[in-house]
């Protein structure tokens, strides 16, 4: 005769099964809702996500932009902190690095003697003795860029928050929704211009405000990371002893 299991033994056998079933159901529920605990932007269609990101960027007071841009004029590596009334940071080209500081309309450029002797393209001819002497005086000094100088508008473009954001994070072509990802530890959803991102790929934050966190330009034209949104930073004019005013126009280099 086979002994029947006692009630306590049945309960002990059933409890682990019930726990496992409950755990599995919970995991399934989590997996079926990837937007749980997010700002809900991931539930929107691609066009609405891009609009949310653009609105968040337009309303922001400050941002750090770092990455590489490729254009007809060459490749630029940027590391800029930007806000509406100014900016500070650095720009690196193939052969040189220079710093920019803008406070209102006052724009300052700081670079080493090699930059001033050769210009941004160090493949130019060997500078004259006079050019070298002048470059030594400018070495590691903040040079105020005259607003009438042809380079003022171009250099200021690297410090203009609205201009950079409007020019960098716009998608082209039919906008489609992409995969989920993480940028700087923050969950994101991708929106792309075209199925393969040929019109650019934008990562939008799923945590907090839906800020753009990364933009990959189409055609391999560079990737920029956007961080420190709305984080203010100080801007101070350089000390008089570190500043040179070149008058109406910078040296031709």
- Asked if residue 28 belongs to a domain, the reply is no
Asked whether residue 246 carries a pLDDT value surpassing 70, the answer given is no
- Asked if residue 133 belongs to a domain, the reply is yes
Q: What are phi and psi of 43, to 5 degrees?
A: -80, -15
* Measured distance CA(96)–CA(40) in Å, rounded: 44
Asked whether residue 127 carries a pLDDT value surpassing 80, the answer given is no
**Structure confidence by residue, pLDDT tens digits, 48-65:** 999 999 999 999 999 999
Whole-prediction pTM? 0.79
- Asked if residue 48 belongs to a domain, the reply is yes
* Measured distance CA(71)–CA(17) in Å, rounded: 62
Residues 148 and 185 in one domain: no
Mean pLDDT, the chain, integer: 83
**Structure confidence by residue, pLDDT tens digits, 171-195:** 999 999 999 999 999 999 999 999 9
- Asked if residue 12 belongs to a domain, the reply is no
Residue 204: CB partners within 8 Å, gap ≥ 6?
A: 41, 49, 50, 52, 53, 188, 189, 190, 191, 210, 211, 212, 213
Q: How many domains does the chain have?
A: 2
Residues 136 and 237 in one domain: yes
Distances (CA, A) of 131 to 117, 127, 135, 247, 249: 6, 6, 6, 18, 16
Residues 139 and 237 in one domain: yes
- Asked if residue 83 belongs to a domain, the reply is yes
CB-CB contact of 145 with 158 (8 Å): no
Structural domain for 94, as ranges: 63-165+233-245
Residues 238 and 127 in one domain: yes
- Asked if residue 33 belongs to a domain, the reply is no
Residues 124 and 147 in one domain: yes
Asked whether residue 115 carries a pLDDT value surpassing 90, the answer given is no
Considering 27-41, 156-170, 201-215, 238-252, the range whose residues carry the highest mean pLDDT is 201-215
Residues 138 and 177 in one domain: no
Asked whether residue 2 carries a pLDDT value surpassing 60, the answer given is no
């Amino acid at each position: 005769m086979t002994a029947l299991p006692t009630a306590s033994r049945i309960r002990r056998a059933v409890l682990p099964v019930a726990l496992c079933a409950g755990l599995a159901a919970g995991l399934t529920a989590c997996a079926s809702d990837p937007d749980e605990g997010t700002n809900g932007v991931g539930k929107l269609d691609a066009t609405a996500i891009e609009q949310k990101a653009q609105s968040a960027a337009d309303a922001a007071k400050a941002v750090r932009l770092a990455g590489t841009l490729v254009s007809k004029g060459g490749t630029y590596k940027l590391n800029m902190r930007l806000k509406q009334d100014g900016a500070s940071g650095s720009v690196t080209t193939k052969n040189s690095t220079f710093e920019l500081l803008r406070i209102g309309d006052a724009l300052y450029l700081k670079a080493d003697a090699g930059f001033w002797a050769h210009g941004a393209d160090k493949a130019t001819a060997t500078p004259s003795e006079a050019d070298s002497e002048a470059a030594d005086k400018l070495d590691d000094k903040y040079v105020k860029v005259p607003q009438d100088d042809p380079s003022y508008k171009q250099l200021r473009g690297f410090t203009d928050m609205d201009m950079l954001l409007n020019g960098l994070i716009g998608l082209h072509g039919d906008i489609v929704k992409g995969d989920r990802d993480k940028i700087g530890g923050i969950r994101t959803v991708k929106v792309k211009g075209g199925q393969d991102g040929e019109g650019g790929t934008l990562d939008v934050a799923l945590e907090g405000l839906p800020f753009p966190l990364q933009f990959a330009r189409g055609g391999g034209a560079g990737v920029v990371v956007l961080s420190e949104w709305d984080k203010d930073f100080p801007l101070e004019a350089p000390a008089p002893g570190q500043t040179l005013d070149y008058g109406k126009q910078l040296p031709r280099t």
